[in-house]
Structure 1
Amino acid sequence: MTRPLTRIVATIAVAATAALVTACAPATAESEPEPTKTVAIEPSTPAPQPEASASSDPDVEEPTCDTIISPTTVKDFESLGWTSLADKFLVGSIEIPDGVQCIWGDFSTATDHVQLFGWAPISADQAESAQTELVAQGWRREDSPEGVYVTESAETASSVDEEGYGLTYLFGDGWVKYADTKQGILLVEWPQT
């Protein structure tokens, strides 16, 4: 098992333990809050109205574990009893805001039989830094018509696809995709069009 997958499984175990401990904690008695007086104050100037921006478009969804892969893939996973856990999107030590990294699996039992997917918007500078860091750690970089693939070394990968690719990032123009294999990158279909 690779270090990132070990960290993910450890994080899941800690979160599950914390949830069980807090769920079993005795309830504390709550006292009735005392009513307080409310005084209405009229504003002297009108409140500022938010300006429309690309991110405030109500038709644009945020990337989630259910939206970065196709609805068919989500249904297939759910038919197996799988659910997803969302986490922050990391490329090496670099956290990419507004992205999502997902683990799909059956979390009712201890298993390493899971699928990993992720998507995040990324600047050119962040992409360059992330690729440099991964390559310095022994990952392999490949240019392709789709973008730049960066994949872990086949010698250290816990599982690989038919072409020998393990954990893989695909860097495109303003975005990065992630999956547990290069073949798995094909399942990441964000943004939906």
Structure 2
Amino acid sequence: MSRRDRRSVVALGLIAGLGLLAGCGAPAPAQTTPPAEAVPSSPVATPQATASEPALPDPTCENIIRSASFEELESQGWEYKQEPFLIGEMPIEGGVSCLWANPAEPGGNILQFGWAPLTAEETTEAEQSLESAGWIREEGDDGVYLTEDPAFALNIDADGYGMTYFFGDGYVQVADVKQGLVVIERR
């Protein structure tokens, strides 16, 4: 087995393990109902009507992937480098790209996970730019995938996908292989 094949197997194993861990999490808190005598006699605004959705923290390498995945990577000696989010040469304001590597494996595999907010106009521009550069478009149930041509990909997953962007409603994600998108939190 060649060195590249071994790295691909290691990366796919890590992604598969991280995907399994992604389903693990804390149980949902129990919902309680106030006693009948606690019901106010006059109309009162409900929390859903008055409270706005809490603002999400700025994206960082610590919070764009599931906490179990982050902990798993760190426990195996992987370290990240946080960089601006780019689509081709276009920087995306407010986004983050995280390159993960294990320094104990010089020349080893590199994983990438990224997330950025996008306007509808930026989404259209980015998708058109990638498609004109030869990226392959695939419609999903909840968004659009654009994957680099596998003939030019440094890494490919078990399904033959290399680096892939996922365009959702108001955001974009990126991973070094399509299967890697499963560990990125949908914000």
| Greater mean deviation of Cα atoms: 102-111 or 141-150 | 102-111
1:164 lines up with 2:177 in the alignment = no
| Aligned 1:1-193 pairs, distance under 5 A | 60-107=56-103, 110-191=106-187
Cα distance in 1, alignment partners of residues 89 and 61 from structure 2: 21
Aligned positions, number: 136
Say which SS state the counterpart of residue 129 (structure 1) adopts: helix
| Paired letter, 1:61 | P
> Following TM superposition, by how much is the alpha carbon of 1:108 offset from its aligned partner in structure 2, in angstroms?
5.6
Spell out, residue by residue over 1:89-146, the C-alpha distance to the aligned partner (whole angstroms, 9 max, x if none). 0011111000000011123653241210000000111111111111111110111102
Unaligned runs of 5+ in 1: 1-53
Unaligned runs of 5+ in 2: 1-51
Q: Is the 8 A contact 1:103 1:115 kept in 2?
A: yes
> Following TM superposition, by how much is the alpha carbon of 1:60 offset from its aligned partner in structure 2, in angstroms?
3.0
Q: Is the 8 A contact 2:115 2:174 kept in 1?
A: yes
Say which SS state the counterpart of residue 164 (structure 1) adopts: coil
Cα distance in 1, alignment partners of residues 68 and 174 from structure 2: 19
Say which SS state the counterpart of residue 106 (structure 2) adopts: coil
Cα distance in 2, alignment partners of residues 169 and 185 from structure 1: 8
Say which SS state the counterpart of residue 163 (structure 1) adopts: coil
Structure 1 runs of 4+ with >4 Å offset = none
TM-score, scaled relative to structure 2: 0.68
Cα distance in 2, alignment partners of residues 66 and 115 from structure 1: 15
Cα distance in 2, alignment partners of residues 100 and 72 from structure 1: 19
Q: Is the 8 A contact 1:177 1:188 kept in 2?
A: yes
Q: Tell which has more relative contact order, 1 or 2 (C-alpha 8 A, sep 6+).
A: 2
Cα distance in 2, alignment partners of residues 80 and 160 from structure 1: 22
For the aligned residue pairs, the C-alpha RMSD in angstroms reads 1.8
TM-score, scaled relative to structure 1: 0.66
